[in-house]
Amino acid sequence: MQFLEYLKAIFLGIVEGITEWLPVSSTGHMILVDEFIRLNVSPAFLDLFLVVIQLGAILAVAVLFFHKLNPFSRRKTSEEKRSTLSLWGKVIVGVIPAGVLGVLLDDILEEYLMNYVTVCITLVVYGVLFIVIEKVRAKKTMQGIPYRVENVEDLTYKDALIIGAYQTLSLIPGTSRSGSTILGGMLSGVSRTASAEFSFFMALPIMAGASLLKIAKFILEGNTATVDEVFLLLVGLVVAFVVSLVCIRFLMQFVKRHSFAPFGIYRIALGVIVLLYFLLTK
């Protein structure tokens, strides 16, 4: 039976590694997966597992973009180091809105919005938005109108704050953090590539903070984890890390040549499937 639990942890790590970075909502997928594949752990630890497993995913960002995010690299000129420090400043500005609201509204959001109805609605709504925004972008491309910002280094602090404000929408389950930030960036005139990269960078402090907050609440509420549960979490973290490495590379190549419309279609289909499943089974 313990072997089966490790297989479940591996599968959850795969789902997290894929859906955390693609704009399809990791929460929506986790809720659906949890209906069929539920770890044999305490409810409190399961809540912890589904959040902290994100640490494996963000470690992949740190590895893939280490040179770009490292302001102390010896291979960088003084100007490049200053540019990297400036980029970190923009990341910090970008995470402030979601970071503040996330701490203030965490319990409220979990109690009232963490349900399949909310997830289904946001999956479909954002799916439609992706398709509409990409159609508008396609018309602008045909007219020869370029993006205002092509590279992440060219973002201003105002751009960072605006994209960060859009990121607060991801506090609603099913919205997708990457989906919110990428949509926000594109609506602000930022290219898909720059929006996706900045979304990845903002994920580092946001997801690390969310994981640490969940761990702190787990401990302060008097919960404990067994040795088996800790090993299950470690397995999930490692799998999420490896899968994220592949997924992030795929997405960065995908956005250079394709629109996000296919993800919009997928979100709508998933939202309908999840809604029908719960309506027919509950």
pLDDT in tens, 93-130: 999 998 888 878 877 887 788 788 888 899 999 999 99
| Burial track 167-187 (b if 16+ CB lie within 10 A, e otherwise) | bbbbbbbbbbbbbbbbbbbbb
Mean pLDDT (whole number) for 166-194: 89
Averaged pLDDT, 85-89: 96
Domain enclosing residue 271, as ranges: 2-281
CA distance 130 to 187: 11
**Percent with pLDDT over 70 in the chain:** 99
Q: Determine the Cα–Cα distance for residues 165 and 176; give it in Å rounded to an integer.
A: 14
pLDDT of residue 1: 54
Structure tokens at 99: 């970071």
pTM, full prediction = 0.87
For the stretch 255-281, pLDDT in tens is: 888 888 999 999 999 899 888 888 888
* Residue 3 tokens, joined: 């072997």
Predicted local distance difference test score (pLDDT) of residue 67: 94
Structural domain tally of the chain?
Answer: 1
Question: DSSP readout, 45-66?
Answer: HHHHHHHHTHHHHHHHHHHHTH
Residues forming beta bridges with residue 149, ordered by sequence position: 190
